[in-house]
Structure 1
Amino acid sequence: MSGWDDKLAIDELLHNWAIRRDAGHWERFQTVWHDDGWMMATWFQGPATEFIRVSREGWDKGVNILHFLGGSSIDIRAHRAIAQTKMTISQRASINGCLCDVVCTGRFYDFLEKRNDRWAIVIRQPIYEKDRIDPVSPADVPELDQGSLQAFPEGYRHLAYMQEQIGYRVKRDMPSLKGKQVEALYQRGDRWLEGLAVTPQEFLSVT
């Protein structure tokens, strides 16, 4: 497979992640991950197999989270790759009786590896750049606790607020557009492409 073919295969994989997850095609969603795959998100950090399980449970309970993808930049070195993909995360839920949409813009930052001629995700870490909250009905105004809202990082402040309102515990040191967390992520990406070890535990300890 040529370098261009590898990029096409990775690009298809990245789109399959969003389509299959948002459509609830859980068995097919499993195929975009390696067996030791790991997912980092505001509301979940752990093995991909567990992420699929809790995502499916949320789907069955009516949790409404959707993804939209933009362009990708893919760097390949031997059997490893780093992909950055522009994306939005859209979540709908009720806040104090007001049905709202939160839209968070950012990037998926993926650590990928080719094993047995198959590309798949080893670690996915979103970068949260900016977000906003809108009432579904323009006649409504959500009541937000400003103290709680301001306690969350700017890049995913409203998303975190909504997610904690519906019962999730949100990680408060995820990478944003700028800062030490995203710089540490880029350094891990460089190490990955150099063939060095990058472990999921590193992503849990960033502060």
Structure 2
Amino acid sequence: MNNKVEDRLQISDLMTGWIHRDLGEWDAMRSLFHADATIEITWFEGLASDFIDASARMGESDLKTKHMIGAPVIAFNGDKAIVETNAMIIGENIELNLGCCVHNRFYDRVEKRNGSWKITHRQSVYDMGSFSFPLGLVDIDMAVCQKYPREYAALAYVLEKSGFPVNRVFATRGSELERKMKAEGLAWLAQ
């Protein structure tokens, strides 16, 4: 029988390990993912290893981000688990004098392989968001904002204006995309 307390601690460490992204600790960030892991979030879709490289490039840009991570809710099936974790994404582009704050939930598939839990697939559900004006009021192009769902329009706007475009619609709270994501995740967990 698995030691679920130890498993829960290891998975919790994976979720809070997202701090490595904010700190630019790329090797430590790589340790959160299995080699074949994938990510689907606003500005990136693909292999986690490519996401980390792209995040390093973002870290050298005018866009700075910070993630506040909550405690995960974990559902197990053997050496697989679905993990849903509240988070808050805080972004700021100093050159634009514009920032944003978005509440989201990471929706992760994690697996224990060779005795180690790691993320195999990360997605996000966006709950709500807003602009912040850290250095004064700025004009916002509402036509750009209206391309995106309200729940993450501020984040998408700051990303796009910073050179990291959002190319499709993503799951928002209560949306059909969220229901589909969770149904697929539960089907994967049941396999």
With structure 2 as the length reference, what TM-score do the two structures score? Answer: 0.95
**Residue in structure 2 matched with residue 85 of structure 1 by the alignment:** 85
Name 2:120's counterpart in structure 1.
122
Contact 2:12–2:71 (Cα < 8 Å) also in 1:
no
Q: Secondary structure at the match of 2:93?
A: strand
In structure 2, stretches of 5+ residues that fail to align are none
Moved over 3 A (4+): none
Given that 1:108 and 1:126 are in contact with CA atoms closer than 8 Å, whether structure 2 keeps it comes out as: yes
1:2-17 aligned within 5 A: 2-16=3-17
Counterpart-to-counterpart distance in 2, 1:168 and 1:101: 14
Check conservation: 1:153, 1:172, Cα contact below 8 A.
no
* Superposition deviation, residue 63 in structure 1: 2.9
TM superposition score normalised by structure 1: 0.88
Number of matched pairs = 190
**Counterpart for residue 113 of structure 1:** 111
What CA distance in whole angstroms lies between the structure 1 residues aligned with 2:167 and 2:174? 17
Deviation per residue, 1:68-91 (Å, 9 max, x gap): 011210001111000000000111
Contact 1:98 1:135 in 2 (8 A): no
Q: How far apart are the structure 1 equivalents of 2:182 and 2:116?
A: 24
Counterpart mapping for 1:1-207 below 5 A: 1-16=2-17, 18-94=18-94, 98-137=96-135, 140-195=136-191
Structure 2 CA distance, aligned partners of 1:132 and 1:61?
22
- What RMSD in Å do the two structures reach over aligned CA positions? 1.3
Per-residue deviation, residues 159-205 of structure 1 (Å, max 9, x unmatched): 1111111122203311110111000011011111102xxxxxxxxxx
